[in-house]
Structure 1
Amino acid sequence: MGYLTSYSDPEYIESLQTISLPFLRNGTLRAFPVEGDSMPPYTDGTYIVGKYVESLDDLKIGKCYLFITKKGMTYKSFQNSSAKIINVITDNELYEPFTISRSEIIEVWELACSINTEELTNLKKDEFTAKDVYTLLKKEIEELKSSLNR
């Protein structure tokens, strides 16, 4: 929450810890801790390293972004947008897609990489597996085909 109240304070930004990642050199980069279960395989304790997005017009469909809004932070996949809203989706089918008002957006950070603080082999059994993702995608494709044939 400190970031939400201090993101525009140069002294606060200067006080943030730094790390050098040799494979990430260009642009403004920042790491944010993950909370929640809406974007598997990222779980609590993972850090999303984002590259600053200069303009909302630069968002790419299907890419993942960390949206810093007046209400908080949310890490989602960009779906599409209009003049007033951004539509985003999660990778966890338990959560519905939703919209973010453009006027609520403070900053946007595109996924550059992630840093896990736990071994991936320690994932809980109830989290998504490759098979779960395949099954979900197959179901969505079938639904799309069905809706196109109506």
Structure 2
Amino acid sequence: MKSQLPIEAQRFKKIREELRHTQLSFAELLNIGATTADIERGKTKITGKIVMELMAQFNINPLWLYGKSYEKNIDTSRGDVSPKIVTINPTGEESILLVNQKAAAGYPNNIHDMGWYQTLPAFNIPLPEYRNASYRGFQVEGDSMLPNLKPNEWVLGRAVPSILEATDSKIYIVVLRDSVLVKKLQKIPNNPHLVKLVSLNDQYMPIDIKVNDIQELWHVNSKLTFGVDDPSENSLLRQLQQSMDDLKGQISSLK
């Protein structure tokens, strides 16, 4: 019985045929060797370099290529923030990459480099909530999202294809051109070119970001916590916070 071709191989062939290229001419155009035959037969995997070329030359959406989106083309006028590379495990399933704090520092500059992505740890979650979508994990740095997210915790984000699909006041992983931030996102009325990034910790001021400076956007919908606080510790922290609030009130009354 003939095995089913991977969807990315089928769609790669579809792109070539729609552009009316031969396997030879398409390979030359993408600078990937003598022919695209092995890719279309499913014998050779599509590399990050090929995905980048398809995006750059034909605005092909990587999520569509791997069957994760109905949108075939990236519309730059709509504020595309979809993943620039997706990774597939040996069984053909998309992997969830983990980006720790150190890796996050280099993430924006390596966003098109498949070789760099392959150095990151990856895993899969066999739950229905994590199917039919692209997910990525990032480690929280700093205390700007306290009390909801603690330093060094991990958040899992679902890929957002366009800034238009982002929802106000939800938490996102925002990949800028020089940094990766975890913030609440708020759209600015009557200004589609800017968004406001808000911290949960009120010690940090909101910042305005140009939409064009956002490379990728991941909606945070779960987190990984590797320590469970003892209930008595939580109670002690609440009592300490209450005592501090009472002390502030007493000081204010003396002024």
Shorter-chain TM-score: what band? 0.7 to 0.9
- CA shift at 1:30, angstroms? 0.7
Q: Please give the secondary structure, in 2, of the residue aligned with 1:35.
A: coil
- For 2:165, the equivalent position in structure 1 comes to 58
Q: Which residue of 2 aligns with 1:47?
A: 154
Name the structure with the higher helix share: 2
Structure with higher strand content? 1
Residue 126 (structure 2) aligned to one of 9, 22, 28: 22
Distance in 2 between the 1:37 and 1:13 partners? 27
Gaps of 5+ in 2: 1-104, 243-255
Q: Is the 8 A contact 2:145 2:200 kept in 1?
A: yes
**Structure 1 residues 94 and 85, CA gap change in structure 2 (3 angstroms):** same
Q: Distance in 2 between matches of 1:43 and 1:54?
A: 27
5 Å-filtered alignment, 1:1-150, equals 1-23=105-127, 24-40=130-146, 41-81=148-188, 82-121=191-230, 125=237
Taking structure 2 as the reference length, the TM-score comes to 0.46
Letter in 2 for 1:43: K
In 1, the alpha carbon distance for the partners of 2:197 and 2:207 equals 6
Q: Deviations over 1:38-85 (max 9, x none)?
A: 112212221111111100111101211010001201111112132221
Q: Are the aligned partners of 1:32 and 1:49 in contact in 2 as well (CA < 8 Å)?
A: yes
What per-residue deviation string (whole Å, max 9, x for no partner) do you get for residues 93-115 of structure 1?
Answer: 11122211112111111013110
C-alpha separation in 1, matches of 2:115 and 2:178? 23
Please state whether the residue corresponding to 1:65 is helix, strand or coil. strand
Q: Give the deviation of 1:90 after TM superposition.
A: 1.3
Maintained 8 Å contact 1:63/1:78: yes
Distance between the aligned counterparts of 1:110 and 1:120, measured in 2? 26
Structure 1 letter corresponding to 2:155: I
Whichever of the two has the greater Rg, that structure is 2
Instruction: Give the % identical residues.
Output: 23
Please tell me the residue identity of whatever aligns with 2:221: A
Output the CA distance in 2 between the equivalents of 1:12 and 1:65: 23
Say if 1:45 and 1:117, in contact at 8 Å, map to a contact too: no
Structure 1: stretches of 5+ with no match in the other structure: 132-150
Letter in 2 for 1:12: W
CA separation of 1:47 and 1:9: change in aligned 2, threshold 3 A: same
AA aligned to 2:196 is N
1:58, 1:12 → 2: CA distance? 28
Q: Secondary structure at the match of 1:15?
A: coil
- Alpha-carbon separation, structure 1, partners of 2:131 and 2:118: 18
Cα RMSD for the two superposed structures? 2.3
Pairwise CA distance, 1:13: 2.2
Higher RCO structure (Cα 8 Å, ≥6 apart) = 1
Give, as a single letter, the amino acid of the residue that structure 2 aligns with 1:33.
Q
